[in-house]
Amino acid sequence: MARIYISVGSNIQRETNIRGAVAELAQAFGPLLLSSVYESEAVGFVGDAFYNLVVGADTCLDVAAVVSVCKQIEDNYGRVRDGVKYCGRSLDLDLLTYDQLISTEPVELPRAEILQNAFVLQPLAELAPDTLHPLTQQSYAALWQAYRVPQKLWIVPFEF
**pLDDT at residue 81 in the model:** 56
**pLDDT at residue 89 in the model:** 72
Q: What is the Rg, in whole angstroms, of the alpha carbon atoms belonging to the chain? A: 15
Cα distance between residue 119 and residue 73, in whole Å: 20
Report which of 160, 137, 21 is spatially closest to residue 79, judged by C-alpha positions.
Answer: 21
Average confidence score pLDDT of the chain: 92
User: How many domains would you assign to the chain?
Assistant: 1
Cα distance between residue 134 and residue 30, in whole Å: 24
Segment 6-61, tens digit of pLDDT: 999 999 999 999 999 999 999 999 999 999 999 998 776 567 899 999 999 999 99
Q: What is this structure's pTM?
A: 0.93
- Which residue range forms the structural domain that includes residue 85? 2-156
Segment 77-99, tens digit of pLDDT: 876 656 555 556 789 999 999 99
Give the domain CATH number at 61: 3.30.70.560
**pLDDT at residue 80 in the model:** 67
